[in-house]
Amino acid sequence: MPELPEVEALAQFLREHAVGAVVGRVDVGALSAVKTFDPPVTALSGRDVTGAGRWGKFLGMECGDLWLITHLSRGGWLRWIDEPSPTPPRPGGKSPLALRVHFFTPEGATPAFDLTEAGTKKRLAVYVVHEPAQVPGIARLGPDALEVTESAFAELLHGASQRLKTALVDQTLIAGIGNAYSDEILHAAKLSPFANTATLSAERTAELYEAMRAILTDAVTRSVGQDAARLKGEKRSGMRVHARTGQPCPVCGDTVREVSYAERSFQYCPTCQTGGKILADRRMSRLLK
């Protein structure tokens, strides 16, 4: 899933490649991905692209007084195409295409970008709104993970009274962190995913805040400026524990472990994070006694 660093990099990519262009035709490949109907997506055609932004894990392109907002969900992505096919795609079917936006640039080029997601069921969501806050998911967001102050972070965390892993990925609490970077943040802070936010000491809370800032800032630095097609690879290359089950921890050499639950899983290092204890790998997992 694209998280704060990748979405920030995509926003910067749009600022560099789309701002100044005029929106041409907008092709809808998956009707289910479009969550608004007034204004319609066709209202974007003919408008100048004036900006791009990010709200948590939401990506937006400003077109005058309208915004095209997308949430890429778990498997969605933005793909830039320098020479798109002039033939409109056929909606439905097994195509990964959810939406294609064509452009006319001042230099006379006609690029486009595709919003894609594999599979017939599109979780990726697209909105056309006058203000970003009209998107329900944006309206519910907590403060951005790179903008929240340390004192506000501590207050939010201690008031949540839930597991650290759950709190970090709760977008209404702190916006922008998903499954991958929460694993990395907790590993850097040497904290168990199952530690409770309400009982975390002031010292450990400060360490968690600093780890969050460091991990995300480093990831943004590595991601911004990358071609959109390379961002996924850049994200994977920077991971120390996430998606590294069975591999040695780069800090202590212990084996990285995994806990699976529902449709997801997370990874951690027992030596670095849980005092050597192995977390039970079952849906309602807890520390083994």
Tens digit of pLDDT for each residue in 38-59? Answer: 999 999 999 999 999 999 999 9
CB 70 within 8 A of CB 50: no
What local confidence, expressed as pLDDT, does residue 287 receive? 42
Say whether 84 is catalytic.
Answer: no
Beta bridge partners, 52, equal 61
What local confidence, expressed as pLDDT, does residue 52 receive? 98
Q: Which residue has the tokens 């702190």?
A: 174
What local confidence, expressed as pLDDT, does residue 209 receive? 98
What local confidence, expressed as pLDDT, does residue 88 receive? 87
What local confidence, expressed as pLDDT, does residue 95 receive? 83
Q: What is residue 89's three-state secondary structure?
A: coil
Catalytic residue among 54, 57, 235, 257: 57
Catalytic residue among 2, 84, 132, 193: 2
**Tokens standing for 230?**
């390379």
For residue 152, what are the CA distances in angstroms to 2, 163, 265?
Answer: 25, 18, 29
Catalytic residue among 230, 264, 282, 286: 264
Say whether 57 is catalytic.
Answer: yes
Evaluate if pTM is beyond 0.85: yes
**Tokens standing for 109?**
């080029």
Say whether 264 is catalytic.
Answer: yes
What local confidence, expressed as pLDDT, does residue 86 receive? 86
CB 8 within 8 A of CB 15: no
CB 137 within 8 A of CB 171: yes
What local confidence, expressed as pLDDT, does residue 145 receive? 98
What local confidence, expressed as pLDDT, does residue 150 receive? 98
What local confidence, expressed as pLDDT, does residue 89 receive? 84
Tens digit of pLDDT for each residue in 105-126? Answer: 999 999 999 999 987 677 899 9
Query: Which segments in the chain show pLDDT lower than 70?
Result: 92-93, 120, 282-289
Say whether 122 is catalytic.
Answer: no
